[in-house]
Chains A and B, each alone.
Chain A
Amino acid sequence: MFSPARAWREYPQRYRLEAAKCTECSKILYPPRLVCPACGGRTFTPEILPREGKVVTFTVIRVPPAGFTEQTPLPLALVELANGVRLMVQIGDVENPETLEIGMPVRLEFRRISWDGEAGVIFYGHKAVRAGS
């Protein structure tokens, strides 16, 4: 479970998919970091990620941590976006995990990621959902 303060600091990346593009070597980092792992650069410009991509690999969590119990089974995927950036995200709109497949085209949609029971704060972000028909 995240804290509301940490989630709030991360709104640009969580809500708007803002990545950091290294001004030295142009590598796109998501989530953003302070130092570029490719060239050691320390200056970045914000770059909005594309929302289309495909599943590189996935796993299905059947005993999820607190805050995710209403979303069991919980599929998690490594997704490669159209610009080559890879990120770990939940897969949404999966009633039957048997239908998941590697290479599946997905798009990132704004969803509830987790929530602190019925009285706590709701954490929003993006999930990958199957694209096309």
Chain B
Amino acid sequence: MTVGIVGYGAFVPRRRIKLEEIAKVWGADAPAYKRGLQLFEKSVPGADEDTVTMSVEAARNALARSGGVDPADIGALYIGSESHPYAVKPSGTIVAEAIGAVPALHVADLEFACKAGTESLFIAQALVKAGEVKYAVGIGADTSQGAPGDALEYSAAAGAAAFIFGADEDLILAEIVDTYSWTTDTPDFWRREYMHYPRHGSRFTGEPAYFRHSMNSARGMMDKAGLEPGDFAYAIFHQPNGKFPMRVGKKLGFTNEQLETGWLSPWLGNTYSGASPIGLTAVLDIASPGDLILLTSFGSGAGSDSFVIRVTGRISEVQDLAPKTREQLDENKIYLEYGAYAKLRGKIRMAE
């Protein structure tokens, strides 16, 4: 059975903060950060935006591109995030209620640092493939935070991407050709219960974590599918900053042309569980029938999911049916100063 994406959509909040604005407050060297991390600005959620609200908007955009999928036919919905609004009470129920998919469906919130988003895609497409459900929704969304002054504060951003999977040949806009995962126990990044901000193993985060897992997953995926970098039109990697995804792509043998379309972090920041899935939406926005796409996520802790995706002839019919990802990134921006940003992100504690 052929299983694929029948609808996709992204949501990016309108607020932005420039890297200089953060660096100024901490007396940091902005040009050095820009060069080192290749980050220029990042998205910031409003006080009224969270993983649930962004997931609803992304899912509605996915439904708009689905060619009339009845939400009542959605049999499963998963949201991967490390910033679910409640510690206890699912995000997925709110999203399922808002898109009209309740009550006959299976819902779960997933966690695995930054790869929780592709986890939801992985499980959703597998359930459709198994014939358990007609349609399944996988969402990656985050409004993550870095401690004030920590390196993560320059990158932690907000955004969401949603994908509806199905097996109707007429509706599939991109086929899931194959999947592969590469996972080990690696303590590169963590946040304990009740802690506001995560901690990281500093230099330990790069080589043994991000690069080792991303490269083994991508290579394992290509070996399994009998493909090599030259076969792909696009490749998307996890984007903790602007530098890592380009470096890992080049190390694997991909070119700038293959990597740039899904490379959003310099202007979006790191949207954690949303990062590589939002990159995939930006690629689908301009992809052509027949294009092969490699999607490789990374989540600390650590693991990496890979997908080989083949775009079908339906893609050109759906691209204009919802706001495109680059448009959301480039238009309607509201720039914040650090004070307004700190208030919005709860870095200033309010009296009750």
Residues of A whose CB lies within 8 Å of any CB of B are: 11, 15-16, 69-71, 92-93, 95, 109-113, 117-118, 122, 124, 127, 129-130, 132-133
* B350 and A93 within 8 A (CB): no
* B350 and A70 within 8 A (CB): yes
* A127 and B48 within 8 A (CB): yes
Once A117-B352, A133-B332 are accepted as A-B contacts, the answer to whether A112 and B50 lie under 8 Å apart by CB is yes
Which of B51-59, B161-169, B197-205, B257-265 faces chain A? B51-59
- A69 cross-chain contacts in B, Cβ below 8 A: 350
Q: Which residues of chain B from 308 to 352 have a CB within 8 Å of any chain A CB?
A: 331-332, 334, 336, 340, 343, 350, 352
* B46 and A92 within 8 A (CB): yes
* B334 and A93 within 8 A (CB): yes
Q: Is the interface of B mostly helix, strand, loop or mixed?
A: loop
Please, what's the 1-or-0 string for B71-109, where 1 marks a CB less than 8 Å from any CB in chain A? 000000000000001100000001001111000000000
- B47 cross-chain contacts in A, Cβ below 8 A: 70-71, 112
- B49 cross-chain contacts in A, Cβ below 8 A: 111-112
- A127 cross-chain contacts in B, Cβ below 8 A: 48
What CA separation (Å) do A112 and B47 show in the bound complex? Answer: 8
What CA separation (Å) do A92 and B45 show in the bound complex? Answer: 12
Residues of B whose CB lies within 8 Å of any CB of A are: 14-15, 46-50, 52-53, 56-57, 60, 85-86, 94, 97-100, 331-332, 334, 336, 340, 343, 350, 352
B48 CB → nearest A CB, Å: 4
Once A70-B350, A93-B46 are accepted as A-B contacts, the answer to whether A11 and B97 lie under 8 Å apart by CB is yes
* B14 and A93 within 8 A (CB): yes
Provide 12 A-B residue pairs closer than 8 Å at the C-beta atoms, listed in order of the A residue. Answer: A70-B343, A92-B48, A95-B336, A111-B49, A112-B49, A112-B50, A112-B53, A124-B52, A124-B53, A129-B14, A130-B332, A133-B331
